[in-house]
Amino acid sequence: MIAARTPLRLNLSRIRSARLRRTGARTVRVGCLLAMLVGLAASAWGADPLPYRVSFASTGSDSLDDTLAATSDLESLRGGAPVGPFGLIVRARSDIGRLKTVLESFGYYESAVAITVDGRPLADPALAEALTALPKGRDARVSVAFSLGPLYRIGRISVDGDPPPFALRALGLAGGQPAVAAAVLAGGARMQGALQEQGYAFAKVAPPVATEDPTRPLLDLRFKVVAGPKVDIGTIRIVGLAHLREAYLRRRLQLRVGEPYAPSTIERARRDLLDLGVFSAVSIRTADAPEAGNRLPLTLDLRERPRHSVAVDAAYSSDLGGSGGVTWTNRDAFGHAERLSLSSSVTDIGGTAATSLGYDVGAKLVLPDFARRDQSLQISLDAAKQSLQAYDQTALTTGVTLIRRLSSVWSATAGVTTANETIIQPPGTATPRAYTLVATPIGLSYDSTNLSSPLEDALHGMRDSITVAPTRSIGRPNATFVVTQVKLAAYLDLHRFGWSDRGRSVLAGRVLAGFAQGAGEYSLPPDQRFYGGGSGTIRGFRYQGVGPQFPCTPPATTCAEVPIGGTAIVAASLEFRQRFGRKFGAALFVDAGQVSASLKPLPNVLRVGLGAGLRYYTPIGPIRFDVAVPRRHYQAGDDYYEIYVGLGQAF
């Protein structure tokens, strides 16, 4: 029986019963000697591994069964750390205490663990000899059974100290609950966290002492609480700045001397500084004691990233061919976290949808905290040339965009862009046309994936956006039109349905729609029309290959391969992504859509592409290799398959 009113100390992993605490020194010494002898024998037999299988009896609780299996060395080391017969016995003996600790942590303090190997108990002196005599190739059968005993519950709860009422409410424990160690300790942690969040920076809640009831399976809990003084934020010291100006940092910092101390406020300020992109590490330390006026000094330890970086990128697809470029970035151009990027790339290296080499050269300057702290200004200049099946284009574009962060998931943009361009369509056959475009795009974005880069692998949440761009085109003919684009993407982790471990199996979906109003198909400049096909819309079809085509004039036949473009597009994708091991993964996908002269909820003819791909996961995002085929050939110029290689998922 359990001793009456025995005080027990709870720690992070278990509640030890009085029965276990009465183990004598003699038993300990004998156990150590036996373990040493068995260990020496195990080393002698280590060269002759013994394969084995493990079966666990069910406790009736899925969560307890999973925890027991995950804790067992017999299970976790079975494939990766072979042992001989004596080593197997030692491993099984060590599992008894480990599994008993798990049972106690779930409230079963009178539980027992029994392990047999090929039907023999571990104490059988003939067990090692019997295992050595097993025929080669025969697995030893290890069976693990449990005797749970009564489930202990929480009895009376008392608190030493005088914490405020809100702290007592945060404890979240009540008499009659199962005395699960993790839940009891979490209650103490909640109480301490609630105190600190309300300004009691030095509050401490010790692990509770549990006392067993002599007549019933109950544990009375006593928490010792020391609240300490309530403090405000005091002097803020900054160390580690190299180039960023301290005056700017203090203006941006979301902490002020005299405001109430709260760990959540400090953590938000720390993350906000990291979001600047200037620092590789930000930590905020509190002093050991408050200063005058019950104010707690803080120290910001900062580590700036190298100001300059060079990035090289490359991609390939069978329709657009290869591309490669280099980007130079200054992360803190003028001491206020301004980001200046200069990029240059060569595009359209081969490929069925490109007719000659192209280039893209650009510069971009981002000014954070423009006019207000949650707003930035982006200024860009870009020169590009591309020769595609649809048209040849050379263009010089400029843009000024204001980006406002509305919340942690919402952001809005507004700006002005200009483009001076020369376009030939169809390529090589028509007179070049010059256009001057002035647009005022506005947009709204939603992103709940909690990722800092679009290259990272989204496992949950949504990425949505809508953009409306009123545009004036000066050329032949002149036109005024509005281009609207809607993009929706959602990611579902199938772990929610018990499919696999968290983040291993993901279902991703994408829908996009766009339409141009105010101008007809031929009134729109060719680069403002919509085109389907390629990794951004419908994989399996050549880039810009889906949609209206120029009609052929007999006897010509090649003109059917030249896209016109349309005034509307609808497309959707569904992709299943599965990871294997730590670095590899695969994907299956289907894309469908159409480009036409008018937006319809359901186009008359959908172009459908099917495909599969491999993924290699790197710290900056997955490297993607996809192969896609059209469900059937709809028109001249369709390829039999397309290949896509790049960094990051398709969407």
> Could you read off the pLDDT of 271-281 as tens digits, one per residue?
999 989 999 99
Which residues of the chain carry a pLDDT beneath 70?
A: 1-47, 430, 552-561, 599-603, 633-637
- Can you give the pLDDT at residue 547? 85
The whole-angstrom separation of Cα 92 and Cα 196 is 44
CA atoms within a 13 Å half-sphere pointing along the CA-CB vector of 616: 5
- Can you give the pLDDT at residue 113? 97
The whole-angstrom separation of Cα 284 and Cα 240 is 12
Q: What are phi and psi of 85, to 5 degrees?
A: -55, -45
The answer to whether 153-226 and 308-647 have equal CATH topology is no
Reading the block at residue 286, the tokens are 């509190």
Give the chain's radius of gyration (CA, Å): 34
- Can you give the pLDDT at residue 4? 36
Strand ranges for 292-353 from DSSP E: 295-304, 308-317, 321-330, 339-349
The whole-angstrom separation of Cα 269 and Cα 250 is 11
- Can you give the pLDDT at residue 600? 65
Tally of CB atoms within 10 A around 346:
13
Q: Are 463 and 489 in contact (CB under 8 A)?
A: yes
- Can you give the pLDDT at residue 553? 55
Query: In CATH, what number does 232-304 get?
Result: 3.10.20.310
- Can you give the pLDDT at residue 351? 87
- Can you give the pLDDT at residue 22? 28
- Can you give the pLDDT at residue 23? 29
Choices 3.40.50.200, 2.20.28.270, 2.40.160.50, 3.40.50.2300: CATH for 308-647: 2.40.160.50
- Can you give the pLDDT at residue 43? 41
Cis peptide bond upstream of 426, omega within 30: yes
* CATH architecture for the domain at 153-226: Roll (3.10)
Residue boundaries of the structural domains of the chain: 7-147, 153-226, 232-304, 308-647
- Can you give the pLDDT at residue 21? 30
Q: Are 352 and 380 in contact (CB under 8 A)?
A: no
